[in-house]
């Protein structure tokens, strides 16, 4: 069984539409949709926003659904000039940019684990599947929707991701992240917490992030529309290749 999580249902709606033999289980104010997706046994759930919500959802998946792998997919704000809307970041190292337990631990260091990040074990297979999707993304994304978000030549990269319980929308905050976590490519609110829980339970995990904005003062995108028409269909295409 593979667990698939998104922060918003819009981000996995296309996957839900393809899910077969569905069984729904309600736990902790969330609905877990078990079934078959591209001949794989999966369970889909949207966690809601933030590190606490995603950590609770991940723990529930591990303890109650016996998942052998967890994939988190959703949108993120790019903080590198080389990233554009519609690009995809496959997580390599997951940082918590709002974690600061000084003087007991170094800034960003996870207490007890004594590391500043959690690393994905084998992200290259997912990166390959994403690159395959990018080559045919027009089969999943309508030209009208792609044009609406100025998506023309999307790309996929393997990169570090920073998570925190705050929406990043200022140039000053981006500069702070670029200075202190220079390897990070994008920011979001769930990935590092999913990574930490999976690490502590020895469950393989992957993080897929579709760039929806530049995380700056001009971050005024229609998130609901982007999540539903772009991110959701990106996830569908990427996982179709990944599960093949």
* Catalytic residue list: 11, 213
Q: Report how far Cα 143 is from the mean position of its chain's Cα atoms.
A: 24
* C-beta of residue 75 within 8 angstroms of C-beta of residue 231: yes
Q: What is the SS3 assignment for 113?
A: coil
Round to whole Å and give the CA distance between 65 and 28: 14
First-to-final CA distance of the chain: 15
Round to whole Å and give the CA distance between 141 and 214: 21
Q: How far is CA 74 from CA 12, 106, 116, 189, in A?
A: 8, 29, 23, 10
Query: Token pair 């519609």 is at which residue?
Result: 86
Tell me the backbone φ, ψ of residue 212, rounded to 5 degrees. -105, -15
Q: In the chain, where do the E strands start and end? A: 2-6, 20-27, 30-37, 40-46, 69-78, 88-96, 117-119, 156-163, 184-188, 205-213
* C-beta of residue 76 within 8 angstroms of C-beta of residue 90: no
Query: Tokens in use for 14?
Result: 């296309």
Round to whole Å and give the CA distance between 5 and 26: 15
């Amino acid at each position: 069984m593979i667990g698939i999580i998104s922060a918003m249902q819009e981000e996995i709606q296309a996957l839900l539409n393809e899910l077969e033999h569905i069984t729904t289980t309600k736990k902790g104010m969330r609905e877990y949709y078990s079934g078959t997706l591209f001949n794989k046994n999966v369970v889909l759930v949207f966690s809601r926003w933030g590190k606490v919500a995603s950590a609770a959802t991940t723990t529930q998946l591990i303890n109650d659904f016996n998942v052998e792998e967890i994939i988190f997919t959703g949108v993120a704000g790019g903080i590198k000039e080389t990233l554009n809307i519609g690009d995809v970041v496959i997580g390599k190292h997951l940082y918590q940019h709002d974690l600061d337990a000084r003087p007991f631990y170094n800034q960003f260091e996870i207490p007890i684990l004594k590391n500043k990040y959690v690393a994905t074990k084998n992200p290259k297979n997912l990166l390959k599947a994403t690159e395959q999707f990018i080559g045919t993304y027009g089969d999943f994304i309508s030209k009208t929707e792609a044009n609406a978000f100025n998506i023309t030549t999307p790309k996929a990269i393997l990169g570090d991701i920073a998570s925190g319980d705050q929406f990043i929308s200022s140039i000053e905050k981006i500069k702070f992240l670029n200075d202190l976590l220079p390897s990070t490519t994008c920011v979001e609110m769930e990935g590092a917490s999913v990574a930490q829980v999976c690490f502590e339970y020895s469950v393989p995990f992957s993080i897929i992030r579709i760039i929806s904005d530049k995380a700056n003062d001009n971050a005024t995108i229609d998130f609901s529309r982007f999540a539903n028409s772009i991110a959701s269909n990106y996830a569908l295409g990427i996982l179709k290749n990944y599960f093949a």
